[in-house]
Structure 1
Amino acid sequence: MGWSTRQLAELTHTTIKAVRHYHDIGLLELPERASNGYKQYNVTHLVRLIQIKRLSELGVPLAQIAELGSADQDPEQAIRSLDAQLAATVERINRARAELATILRHRAPMHIPPEAAALSRTLSNTQHSLLTVYSTVFSEETMREFHEMVADPDPTEAELEALPADADDATIEQLAQRMLPVVHRRRVQYPRTVDPAADSPLGPDAALEAMAHAVTEFYNSAQLRVLQRLDALLAQPHDSDTEER
């Protein structure tokens, strides 16, 4: 007496589709057919299907299950390898849960890096977007300094954020001049912000290109003119540079 495909699937709490898939990939041998043409599974098939299901529940990929049955496969080595993979998965899941807890605590958007979650309510949409881009191209150390800097905002930054596209030349010049000492001070306090792309894991060129695209897209024409003017002012000798000479 044997079992049909449906009966075998019910016995092992699996599905007919899964049984057929195991046949297709060679994990489960095809049974003989009865005189009526239907498959007839025996106890050997039942045991093998239970083994497959058990190993799959333990996290063994289907591609590796066949190897576990080979004569030259070291069971202990296979178990230790699987345990290491599961440990890495658990660590990844725990890290994700910790990040979600931080995001929930600060009621921050899910796409915000957890390091910036505490700041999320004080940041503008532009700042959110810029930090998201920066988090993909800057090193962890540089991003840490950026988060510290953003956590201590200066009023001129809010002025830049609110600057309309039709701001006149005088307004642009005045804002750039007011931002200049702020940037000089922050470069001393946060030295990595002087050249944030220098230690980018993607390389300085790729990081600079991403920064340029982001700033150009997220800032209006007047804001960009302020930043350009600020760069020009920063290129000029600073009082501290003159004193050192």
Structure 2
Amino acid sequence: MAWSTRELADLAGTTVNTIRHYHRLGLLDVPERRYNGYKEYEVRHLVCLLRIRRLVDLGVPLSQIGDVSAGGGGTPDALRELDAELAARIERLQQARSDIAVILRDNAPADAPAGFESVASRLSETDSSIIHIYKQLYDEDAIADVRKMVEADTDAVGADIDALPADADEATRQQLVERLAPILARNLIDYPWLSDPAAHLSTSKHVTQQTLVEVMVELYNPAQLDVLARASILAREQLPSALDEHGDAG
């Protein structure tokens, strides 16, 4: 019994192009041709092809199939490595499914920062961009605190700053500074690491600082940067009285 390339592909549940690819890689021998020029596959070719398909289904890379199918001493190690890769892939897929469920539950944008789906409606495009970058620069504890800050922020000052034009007048800027400063002061009290975040960095201090400078310049216009800088200074000036109020409240 002999088969054509098409018949062999159908028997093995694959395609003609796949068989040709295996020929090019040297995984499957090229058979003799009939008098009419067509290849003539035999049982040994079918068995070889089915063995290759089995290993492919297991996830063995084509580049390793020759070694694995030969059953050399390294085969168990190769399979263990493959199993570890598959386990990691399954974990990633399970996490992706979990994330998708949260996104659907909270009706959040698909590209919302992970963990911020429930507050995504409060985030401006700039806020979302910055949080994505924060997640690369800070550890999980710091990001959890950032999420708490977003959840606790019910003031519309963030939206007003986002809408601030580059040529905003001084009165408008000052008003925003005075609204933002107490919020920043409260955050400095509730999250002391903000004053010295070194312990919560995921990368070097230099890279973090350099990245944040680039981010701020790119995402904020001059008026917004002015408000943020002045509000930060004012917040630190207000910190002693804010601490007193915090102590009285305690």
Q: CA deviation at 1:41?
A: 1.2
Contact 1:102 1:114 in 2 (8 A): no
Q: CA deviation at 1:77?
A: 4.1
Name the counterpart of 1:68: 68
Name the counterpart of 2:143: 143
| Superposition pairs of residues 6-21 of structure 1, within 5 angstroms | 6-21=6-21
* Alignment size in residue pairs: 243
Closer/same/farther in 2, CA of residues 21 and 33 from structure 1, 3 Å limit:
same
**CA distances 1:5-34 after superposition (whole Å, capped 9, x unpaired):** 121111111111100111111111121223
Find the aligned partners of 1:118 and 1:65 in 2 and give their Cα distance: 46
Contact 2:166 2:224 in 1 (8 A): yes
Contact 2:182 2:235 in 1 (8 A): no
**CA distances 1:179-231 after superposition (whole Å, capped 9, x unpaired):** 32321221121233334466433322222233222222332332211112124
- Indicate the percent of aligned positions where both proteins have the same amino acid: 41
Report the more deviating stretch, 169-178 or 140-149.
169-178
| Superposition pairs of residues 40-189 of structure 1, within 5 angstroms | 40-73=40-73, 75-155=75-155, 156-189=157-190
**CA distances 1:71-118 after superposition (whole Å, capped 9, x unpaired):** 423554444333222211111100111011111111111111220100
TM-score scaled by length of structure 1: 0.86
In structure 1, list runs of 5 or more residues that go unmatched.
none
1:39 partner SS: coil
**CA distances 1:107-164 after superposition (whole Å, capped 9, x unpaired):** 1111112201000112222212222222233322222211111111152434433434
Contact 1:138 1:200 in 2 (8 A): yes
Contact 2:23 2:29 in 1 (8 A): yes
Find the aligned partners of 1:125 and 1:56 in 2 and give their Cα distance: 43
- Answer yes or no: is 1:228 the counterpart of 2:229: yes
TM-score scaled by length of structure 2: 0.85
Closer/same/farther in 2, CA of residues 39 and 172 from structure 1, 3 Å limit:
same
**CA distances 1:50-81 after superposition (whole Å, capped 9, x unpaired):** 01111111211111211112242355444433
Closer/same/farther in 2, CA of residues 63 and 214 from structure 1, 3 Å limit:
same
